[in-house]
Chains A and B, each alone.
Chain A
Amino acid sequence: MSSARNMIALKSILHKEVHRFMRIWVQTLVPPAITISLYFVIFGSLIGARIGTMDGFDYMSFIVPGLIMMSVITNSYSNVASSFFSAKWQRNVEEMLVAPVPNWVIVAGYVGGGMTRGILVGCIVTFISLFFTDIQVHNAWVIIVTVALTSATFALGGLINAIFAGSFDDISIIPTFVLTPLTYLGGVFYSISLLPEFWQGVSKVNPIVYMVNAFRYGFIGVSDVDLTVAFAVLGVFIVSLFTIAMMLITKGIGLRS
């Protein structure tokens, strides 16, 4: 298949994916906006006022980047996990499998769809945060690159989850038991420099710490981790997860008999 044809196939998958989450926007775009608004009200305005400053910034300014990143992570992951698993469950994934679509196009199409939803929700949450605090931008490129790489990482994770999933329960296990704890312990609400040295070391095993901190650096210019290390971690995750996803689809795990 020529590259021009591959691009049409990629656009078709992307179009299908974006249309899917836009068609059910009440389920996909509104809930994260409401949830994050509640975080802003409770942690930012009510409790945050009593906390004082964090790393020299008022608490609301400190947590806004983390909350935006949290919504990007959750939505990128869940979009691909639920969409790809639904396609498996309804068997309409076969529409792509019988067509001359290279496997990398299938992966890129679904990941692109997940990234689009994650970033769109991130934009909505950013817009809502403007009602609670003034957002400053320290380095726009760091923000853009971090959000793009993070959403790609978790979209790939959601795809792998969906490939292995045998039921709808299986696509909620990882978000509930892995993603949520890692996100809450990933420095969204606190600076890991507040932790004892041992727990700081433990926290640095959590990849979300690097993503949240790199993103926060883009806004307020402070980070608990080295930016180069953060991007290296993201790069390693993307390459590893993409390789795994390609291998699974090529072998037809969960897709072909």
Chain B
Amino acid sequence: MEKALEITSLKKTYKGGFQALKGIDLSVKQGDFFALLGPNGAGKSTTIGVITSLVNKTAGQVKVFGHDIDQALETAKSFIGLVPQEFNFNQFESLTKILVNQAGYYGVERSLAHKRAEKYLKQLDLWDKKDAPARNLSGGMKRRLMIARALMHEPKVLILDEPTAGVDIELRRSMWDFLRELNKQGITIILTTHYLEEAEMLCRNIAIIDSGVIVENTDMKSLLAKLDVETFVLDLKLNSPEPKIEGFCYRVIDGHTIEVDVKKSQRINDVFMQLSEQQIDVQSMRNKSNRLEELFVSLVGSGAHVAAQGE
């Protein structure tokens, strides 16, 4: 399958000497739903900046659908739709004008651009604001406007830098559905996010970047399989006796809540059986934290990447 994006030995050193990217390699297949995760300052936005030519690279190669940005920048750009992290549209222009002008920069005729603007404004529930100046929109609406703008030239790859930052849960889920639908239509999607749940829910493949180095690049299932221990929070019936669970590491939080660590080699069923034998009823159970988050912390914490990269 053709590669939507291929990055080789990409380096970026900013004026002043800060090395944001230390030679990263990354490959995204056509049709993929790909997550690029990392803490603040890890190099996510710099990577996106280089791909979209907003940041000049120091060294390395970037190809978009086989087109090298050093040799065929305009062709490479024509495949990409970008939803940046910061709002970067003219706040005084109407939504329709923003979208139609953006389409024009990609060579889309004005009549066709108006039709597409209507299509995406309706799909993203912004149609009733079409003539309003963009500054009048709420934060969530502005994010959706940037998604609509990125789609106006019908790109083959959509890059979203923290697309749901500051968006409420209901809206975030509707945006997830929208992105899933775009991906089903064949658009390759690359997103960076701080919401690890978002990456786990949406993405098939993932790369984790920390301090300008890719510390992990694999498919989501393999990544989650690396997690050896999962912590469950069990809510017990009120006035239950203090539980004793043999063979498991557990903590009693209060009179009716316990946390139990379950290794991959163990079965959560054994915990229930032991509690049942002690006449303790479990009323509910949940994961203590997002599994991906645990893995993320273990990968980017304490310089784990140094060993991974052999540096």
Enumerate chain A interface residues (CB-CB to B < 8 A).
1-2, 4-6, 8-9, 11-13, 15-16, 19, 23, 86-87, 90-92, 94-102, 252, 256-257
Contact = CB atoms under 8 A, between A and B. Distances in A.
Contacts of A92: 88-90
A16 B101 contact: yes
Given A87-B90, A92-B89, A8 B53 contact: no
B101 A15 contact: yes
A15 B56 contact: no
A210 to B, nearest CB: 36
Q: At the interface, is chain A mostly helix, strand, loop or mixed? A: helix
Contact of B107 (A1, A96, A256): A1
A174 to B, nearest CB: 24
A94 B88 contact: yes
Of B54, B78, B109, the most chain A CB neighbours within 10 A belong to: B54
B105 A256 contact: no
Given A1-B74, A100-B78, A94 B105 contact: no
A1 B78 CA distance: 9
Contacts of B109: 8
A232 to B, nearest CB: 35
The 6 closest A-B pairs by CB, nearest first: A12-B104, A5-B107, A99-B105, A100-B74, A91-B88, A100-B77
Contact of B74 (A19, A90, A102, A257): A102
B86 interface: yes
B104 A98 contact: no
Contacts of B49: 257
Nearest to B20: A257
15 contacts: A1-B74, A9-B104, A12-B104, A13-B105, A16-B93, A16-B97, A87-B90, A90-B91, A91-B88, A92-B88, A92-B89, A98-B53, A100-B106, A256-B54, A257-B46
Interface in B245-300: none
B74 to A, nearest CB: 4
Interface residues of B, number: 37
A94 B55 CA distance: 11
B205 interface: no
Contact of A98 (B46, B82, B93, B107): B82
A79 B30 CA distance: 43
Contacts of A5: 106-107
Contacts of B103: 12
Given A8-B104, A23-B92, 17 more contacts: A1-B78, A8-B110, A9-B104, A9-B107, A11-B110, A90-B88, A95-B88, A95-B89, A95-B102, A98-B82, A99-B102, A100-B73, A100-B78, A100-B106, A100-B107, A257-B49, A257-B55
B108 A8 contact: yes
Contacts, number: 90
Contacts of B92: 23
Nearest to B14: A257
A11 B75 CA distance: 20
A12 B56 CA distance: 26
Nearest to A86: B90
B56 A257 contact: yes
Interface of B: 14, 46, 49, 52-56, 73-75, 77-78, 80, 82, 84, 86, 88-93, 97, 100-110, 149, 153
A95 B104 CA distance: 11
Contact of A101 (B86, B89, B93, B105): B105
Contacts of B107: 1-2, 4-6, 8-9, 100
Contacts of A23: 92
Contact of A97 (B54, B91, B100, B101): B54
Contacts of B82: 98
Contact of B56 (A1, A87, A252): A252
B205 to A, nearest CB: 24
A4 B106 CA distance: 11
A189 B254 CA distance: 89
A13 B106 CA distance: 11
Given A98-B82, A252-B56, A90 B90 contact: yes
Given A98-B52, A100-B74, A102-B74, A15 B104 contact: yes
Contacts of A101: 105
Nearest to B113: A12
A16 B97 CA distance: 8
Contacts of A4: 107
Nearest to B52: A98
Contacts of A9: 104-107
Given A87-B90, A98-B77, A12 B105 contact: yes
B31 to A, nearest CB: 22
Contacts of A100: 73-75, 77-78, 105-107
Contacts of A257: 14, 46, 49, 54-56
Contact of B53 (A1, A95, A256): A256
Contacts of B102: 95, 99
